[in-house]
């Protein structure tokens, strides 16, 4: 691909065009290098097409283990890999780092600010972001968990809360700092709550002299009647019992009505907290707005049986961006296996069409089961009629996650880290990489107060 000025006199945009070395090959543009987008790109590795993979990050992220970065169990590089390295040997594929700002279907171009990328086939796999149900102001006080930046920000807040509590003389403020609230009882919320409880009660237990981290209060608040509503009720109840055994307070049927720097509100009840983490909802990317089509309440674009946009058989939408219904008319969940199967399917459809064939089989998701871990030797698995819980499910959960990591290097490092953590209870990634607080993102104080300054050092002796 080369870069030249657009010749249209009424446009100052730049236009990306095919390089002469592969001139005449159809151009497939994939927006998003998550599970779905990357799988689609790899499925086209040997096809007679030119592939452009666009992402605003330079890395592919294994999101199922992101909570372990947030709780200091793993480092970011252990669950991420540079996109360019993943497609290095795909000679028909190039990577563009940047933000997509729109799609012009009539002209078959994707816009990136003042640049245009023409396409013959477009695959939108842009993922999802946090949804605060119309209360976007809560975001600065309750970060969600979708990116490495989110994970390291949550880790920073958690660790700084313990450091501030160590220096705090006011018992009430110390108690607030040692209160951690997780909002949302889905897999992310459950896994975060268990990991934070183990961090406080095991990894940090002997590290402080003024406070006892084992007295940290961890609350998991869920508006619905039970945790993990997509799992069988038997497994949900087990997860709740396992969390309570770790000292986590599980509040069910309680909805957050307010969120600020000092804590959260539940109707008339105010709950002071030093750290609030949001795991209650997601919304799809702006793809629907780019395409000029309607979206469901979660921002997802409804697609046809072959994952194409109705009326545009050259535009595919997959992953969290797409509203895909199963055989019972229920939306498919936003899970990695769903996105990967959709990405592989789209690659097959494109290759069939290039060969002048019609891909007869509509997309059907092959159920791979659900897994969630609650803590050390406690996990749950639901697959077809199989239901597992306890230590065996925990081992299977660990093996499955190591297997699906993107590279051998990551698998070896994560397996080693987990073994070390299992034997020693250590969390080696307990790093605060920035002592300065961004008042727009910090949940420990208000703008203009001392929380915007570096933490003071204790004098020796």
Q: Is the pLDDT of residue 15 over 70?
A: no
Tell me, rounded to whole angstroms, the distance of Cα 355 from its chain centroid: 36
Q: What is the mean pLDDT of the chain?
A: 89
CA distance 426 to 419: 10
> Which of 50, 78, 191, 240 is the catalytic position?
191
More confident residue, 384 or 71: 71
- Span 190-204, average pLDDT: 97
Instruction: Please give the pLDDT value at position 2.
Output: 39
Whether 191 is catalytic is yes
Sheet with 378-383, strands from edge to edge, namely 370-375, 378-383, 386-390
Virtual torsion, Cα 429, 82, 14, 116, nearest 10 deg: -100
Local confidence band at 16 (pLDDT 50, 70, 90 cut-offs)? very low
Q: What is the C-alpha separation between 331 and 329, in angstroms, rounded?
A: 7
β-bridge pairing 59-61 and 50-55: unpaired
What is the structure's pLDDT at 282?
84
Distance from the Cα of residue 84 to its chain's centroid: 20
Q: Give the whole-angstrom CA distance, residue 59 versus residue 265.
A: 37
Hey, CA dihedral for 337, 340, 345, 346, is it positive or negative? positive
**CA distance linking residue 361 with residue 305, whole number of Å:** 9
Which pLDDT belongs to residue 449? Answer: 38
- Higher pLDDT: 296 or 66? It is 66
The alpha carbon of 458 is separated from its chain's Cα centroid by a whole number of angstroms, namely 37
Beta bridge partner(s), residue 269: 266
Given a cut of 60, whether residue 5 has pLDDT beyond it is no
Handedness of CA 325, 288, 113, 1 (dihedral sign): positive
Kindly list the distances between the CA atom of residue 132 and the CA atoms of 144, 280, 288, 408, in Å, as whole numbers in the listed order. Answer: 10, 8, 19, 37
Tell me what the mean pLDDT of segment 398-412 comes to. Answer: 94
For 260-308, the pLDDT digits (tens) are: 999 999 988 999 999 999 999 888 888 999 999 988 888 899 999 999 9
| CA distances (Å), origin 119, targets 51, 122, 124, 213, 393 | 9, 6, 12, 55, 45
> Does residue 378 surpass a pLDDT of 70?
yes
Position 436 scores a pLDDT of 60
Binned at pLDDT 50, 70 and 90, residue 327 comes out as confident
Handedness of CA 429, 433, 435, 441 (dihedral sign): negative
The neighbouring-strand residues paired with 316 are 123, 308
pLDDT surpasses 90 at 385: no
Model confidence at 238: pLDDT above 70: yes
Question: Which pLDDT does position 23 carry in this prediction?
Answer: 59
CB atoms closer than 10 angstroms to residue 416: 11
Cβ atoms of 73 and 424 closer than 8 Å: no
| pLDDT at 439 (0 to 100) | 40
Phi and psi at residue 221, to the nearest 5°: -110, 125
Highest mean pLDDT of the ranges 9-18, 108-117, 350-359, 439-448: 108-117
Domains and CATH numbers, the chain: 2-56+98-130+282-354 (3.50.50.60), 136-280+376-424 (3.50.50.100)
Rounded mean pLDDT of 439-459?
A: 39
């Amino acid at each position: 691909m080369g870069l030249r000025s657009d010749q249209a006199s009424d446009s100052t945009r730049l236009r990306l065009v095919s390089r002469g070395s592969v001139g005449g090959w159809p151009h497939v543009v994939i927006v998003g290098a998550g599970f779905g987008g990357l799988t689609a790109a790899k499925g086209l590795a040997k096809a007679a097409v030119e592939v452009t993979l666009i992402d605003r990050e330079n890395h592919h992220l294994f999101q199922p283990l992101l909570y372990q970065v947030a709780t200091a169990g793993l480092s970011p590089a252990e669950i991420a890999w540079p996109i360019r390295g993943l497609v290095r040997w795909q000679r028909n594929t190039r990577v563009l780092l940047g933000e997509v700002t729109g799609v012009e279907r009539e002209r078959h171009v994707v816009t990136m600010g003042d640049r245009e990328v023409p396409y013959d086939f477009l695959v939108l796999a842009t993922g999802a972001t946090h949804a605060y149900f119309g209360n976007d102001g809560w975001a600065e006080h309750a970060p969600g968990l979708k990116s490495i930046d989110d994970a390291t920000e949550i880790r920073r807040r958690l660790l700084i809360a313990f450091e501030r509590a160590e220096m705090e003389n006011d018992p009430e403020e110390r108690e607030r700092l040692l209160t951690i609230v997780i909002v949302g009882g889905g897999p992310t919320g459950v896994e975060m709550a268990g990991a934070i409880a183990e961090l406080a009660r095991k990894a940090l237990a002997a590290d402080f002299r003024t406070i006892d981290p084992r007295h940290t209060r961890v609350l998991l608040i869920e508006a619905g009647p039970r945790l993990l509503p997509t799992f069988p009720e038997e497994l949900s109840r087990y997860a709740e019992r396992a969390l309570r055994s770790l000292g986590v307070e599980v509040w069910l049927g309680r909805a957050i009505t307010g969120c600020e720097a000092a804590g959260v509100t539940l109707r008339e009840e105010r709950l002071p907290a030093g750290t609030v983490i949001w795991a209650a909802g997601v919304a799809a990317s702006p793809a629907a707005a780019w395409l000029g089509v309607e979206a469901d309440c979660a921002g997802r674009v409804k697609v046809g049986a072959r994952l194409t946009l109705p009326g545009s058989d050259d535009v595919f939408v997959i992953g969290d961006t797409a509203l895909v219904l199963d055989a019972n008319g229920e939306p498919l969940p936003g899970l990695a296996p769903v996105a990967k199967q959709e990405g592989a399917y789209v690659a097959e459809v494109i290759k069939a069409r290039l060969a002048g064939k019609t891909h007869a089989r509509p997309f059907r998701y092959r159920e791979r089961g659900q897994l969630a871990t609650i803590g050390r030797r406690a996990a749950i698995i639901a697959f077809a009629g199989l239901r597992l819980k306890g230590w065996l499910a925990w081992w299977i959960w660990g093996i499955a996650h190591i297997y699906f990591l993107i590279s051998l290097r990551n698998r070896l490092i994560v397996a080693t880290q987990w073994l070390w953590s299992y034997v020693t209870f250590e969390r080696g990634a307990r790093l605060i990489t920035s002592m300065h607080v961004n008042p727009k993102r910090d949940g420990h104080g208000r703008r203009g107060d001392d929380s915007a300054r570096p933490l003071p050092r204790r004098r020796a002796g």
